[in-house]
Structure 1
């Protein structure tokens, strides 16, 4: 019995180690973090994390920064910026935009929630209201610009990370608005056309739109201060060596924001710009995320050893192929590359077939769901054409559902416990797992249906269609992970090599979906690991399919924006 508990205990140990590391980094030096809810425009509920440096009181006020994430992210995505700002003595409000995280839907409404966030920050008696900065990444830049437009005298400086002034989502900038503006636009940012109207990020210095903001007709010189900071007309462009999502994971990009606020705000504690520790928080939450996956596997194995689920345990009954023949390689190639080939067109179809509505209020989740179901049907059809040996792998449906609910339920309790005790989620970069709020829990019940269909069809095809006689454990895991991820490895590698050598993605008109595709790699690798783990112990594809349907639905719905009001 003790052997069946080893992974379960190991998962908890890894989670605790990662959560403690993340907690001690984000509270380094006595910083406290408060989980906030406050009323915004028309009584809407807004959410944020408030970072308060030590010694800050109503008698000892501190400068403050409103920090806002981009589209499809949440307040925790800004933790690199927030930690470093707070270490330097700033009170930081890391805001959930409207329709993101725990802020009320819909997204895009009421200035993305920016005016409400700035107004709330100014009500705090610990804040020096004469020294407030605004920092936003991507759509978060438009959020803080909305705040700056609504309250033109309520802030002193702005940092736009991978963002821009102007149509269609922000007021046009000029030499006097916004006040003291730093544009941090990375050399390999995928959104140069959208933001500044130039084909590549390296051409941003000659963007007419940017030159208007800086009041020049020649190329803007990166690192040079334009205008007059004392008069509020200061301007500076910097171009870190990273990509659009890389801004969150760049000492250089975070350092540029620190440098600008050091020059434009008063009252902060001087620290060298290269004195940054935020990466250790990311490492901590990554460790916790790995521990979560181990915990799911360990919980499943532990449950199989109980009397209630012992009947599910059996060896896989045969394999689909005696060796890796030409037929196997064709099936493998289709499994790996068809999902990538269909990625852009199926996503587009979803926007036409399933626009945001009260039933399907998350545009991107609907896109993934349609892509998934259609690819599941392709897998089913492929199985009829490229049949191998007959493998019976269905197993006990009810037992599979119950063990999946119990397994993911334990994992969910772990995420909630870490959130409650340490105020961290399980994440690495933009890959994040966090507890539901009530609205997203109801949304998840709807999206669970198509994702369950997909995983039943896809994992049936994986385990009864690609299994090979004689494969050892490691070969089986690696083969299945490759079958689900290799296409995205090639796809993203090609896109970003093109970006590196040409300055733009190969699919120039698809920067958002390309960036989002990064998450598919680790997510599908976890799916393959968990499903293979369950298959090897039950000889059924159903437990792994139901576990992954619950896990992936939770992951996607909890992290996506809500574009339509949901009661």
Structure 2
């Protein structure tokens, strides 16, 4: 009941917030290029129709995100009278076609936005974060007269995915590049984001040979040559939850587009919506544990009900060694495995999603390490599982949560999300991919959860302490190493793992996901005395989360 209350209540509140001031939000599909279909969230302010046209903004998320990631921007744009088309890039979310294809979906999306009868086509803005910036630049290249101004959030002009910027192209461009952006080398060729003003590529865009002065407008808005740099205090993914980054975009479109409604730049409601969907996302954990418990109470699952008897009697040196190996080895193997997949295993029909492939190979490597280490220690008492009943229990538990998430998306047009951590329904294409990644994940969770429960659960300790141990063992290493990584970034301006900033940013999601799995793992084990039901449930949940939440590179 707690889980249902959090999921439904949070989603309902988020829906109300994003529809504030009479904004209509609809989930739409439209034709892309080369036979593809693109998906978008369309925000239409109150009073806008064919007789009362409004300025419009195409808003685009970055790599391995979806339209909902742009909620902060879309909500505030719509509140100021702009029609907003927030798309799923090609190969992301529910848009078909492989990622990176067809200008990332940008040209087709701008054409569609211009075709809407209630859009003032003389006042269209383009806003994109990270790879979304390259998406809107592709749209600007394809329709050079189809827009009036651009905001590049944590993004850049130039190779490999965009044309070089000049003092006259793109039109009226604002660069919002945060002071601790992890992608400064890739985007602007500088080691530290706070040195972006000295970037030769940025200076070429601004038509100057001197460091660009943040906040100063270069060029002329009326002539379409205006440029401005702002540097909010945030990271690359932090742009999505930065009041300053959102305000900088609002201010630029207020200056360069006509027809918007003036509001104070500090008047924001998007964070409340983000917190509401965050509450809904958090509700999934008690929902799953509660559903598992209720189903376990039914007669068909009676043979699974057992009380565990941990063999570990105290936290001695061996226990501490097991704990630190469990918490430190997985984060230390993440970067090498992810880089190896990028270099050696291109996407294919068998493995169409690069990030999902990276996660699976990382899991298999860690399963092998865990198995090798486990062999050196005394055997853990093994509770023979009822495989069929355990699988049915896991399927029903996750199926209940999945049906609820599907209903939430249909009724409220929101997903369960906080920041870049989101649980979304699968598309038909993603559902077909799911078994490819599910089976190796299942192997990992059987090996890892059996080791975790056998080596770290101590006899006589209560559920809260056992859960705290599991959460610390699974998520603690990532929290510790990423904490050090970002502490050095904030202290020096340089990210120690900056040679692979994408994996670093992806790793942030591991902390809440593994913490949730720690709670679920202990809860299932305490009710069944076996690692198998919890491992099955965890594999289903993580496969759903990963496959629905990343990009498809082969299609």
Give me the TM-score of the superposition, normalised by structure 1. 0.97
Which SS does the other structure have where 2:63 is aligned?
coil
Which SS does the other structure have where 1:165 is aligned?
coil
- Say whether residues 1:64 and 2:56 are aligned partners: yes
Residue-pair matches, total: 555
Aligned to 1:562: 552
Task: Summarize the alignment of residues 359-438 of structure 1 with structure 2, pairs less than 5 Å apart.
Answer: 359-387=350-378, 390-438=380-428
Aligned to 1:338: 329
C-alpha separation in 1, matches of 2:344 and 2:396: 35
- Say whether residues 1:355 and 2:343 are aligned partners: no
Which of 459, 471, 474 in structure 2 is aligned with 1:481? 471
C-alpha separation in 2, matches of 1:512 and 1:347: 10
Q: Deviations over 1:301-321 (max 9, x none)?
A: 0001111112211101x2232
State whether residues 63 and 268 of structure 1, in contact with CA within 8 Å, keep that contact through their aligned partners in structure 2. Answer: yes
State whether residues 69 and 136 of structure 1, in contact with CA within 8 Å, keep that contact through their aligned partners in structure 2. Answer: yes
Aligned to 2:234: 242
Aligned to 2:286: 294
C-alpha separation in 2, matches of 1:81 and 1:153: 24
C-alpha separation in 2, matches of 1:394 and 1:346: 33
* Deviation at residue 43 of structure 1 after TM alignment: 2.0
Aligned-CA RMSD value: 0.9
Please identify, of 377-386 and 99-108, the stretch whose mean Cα deviation from structure 2 is larger: 377-386
C-alpha separation in 2, matches of 1:357 and 1:310: 43
- Say whether residues 1:74 and 2:41 are aligned partners: no
- Say whether residues 1:122 and 2:114 are aligned partners: yes
C-alpha separation in 1, matches of 2:274 and 2:384: 39
Q: Deviations over 1:50-92 (max 9, x none)?
A: 0000000000000000000000000100000000000000000
C-alpha separation in 2, matches of 1:394 and 1:15: 35
* Deviation at residue 472 of structure 1 after TM alignment: 1.5
Q: Deviations over 1:517-539 (max 9, x none)?
A: 00000000111111110000000
Task: Summarize the alignment of residues 2-401 of structure 1 with structure 2, pairs less than 5 Å apart.
Answer: 9-316=1-308, 318-387=309-378, 390-401=380-391
Which SS does the other structure have where 1:17 is aligned?
helix
Give me the TM-score of the superposition, normalised by structure 2. 0.99
C-alpha separation in 1, matches of 2:48 and 2:495: 46
Change (3 A) 1:320 1:349: farther
* Deviation at residue 387 of structure 1 after TM alignment: 2.9
Q: Deviations over 1:282-313 (max 9, x none)?
A: 11101111112211111100001111112211
Which SS does the other structure have where 2:182 is aligned?
coil
Which of 423, 440, 448 in structure 1 is aligned with 2:438? 448
Q: Deviations over 1:85-113 (max 9, x none)?
A: 00000000001100001101200011100
C-alpha separation in 1, matches of 2:342 and 2:206: 37
State whether residues 331 and 382 of structure 1, in contact with CA within 8 Å, keep that contact through their aligned partners in structure 2. Answer: no
Which SS does the other structure have where 1:284 is aligned?
helix
C-alpha separation in 2, matches of 1:140 and 1:28: 26
C-alpha separation in 2, matches of 1:393 and 1:527: 21
Query: 5+ unaligned residues in a row in structure 1: which ranges?
Result: 1-8
State whether residues 387 and 465 of structure 1, in contact with CA within 8 Å, keep that contact through their aligned partners in structure 2. Answer: no
Which SS does the other structure have where 1:535 is aligned?
helix
C-alpha separation in 2, matches of 1:78 and 1:352: 30
C-alpha separation in 2, matches of 1:352 and 1:550: 28
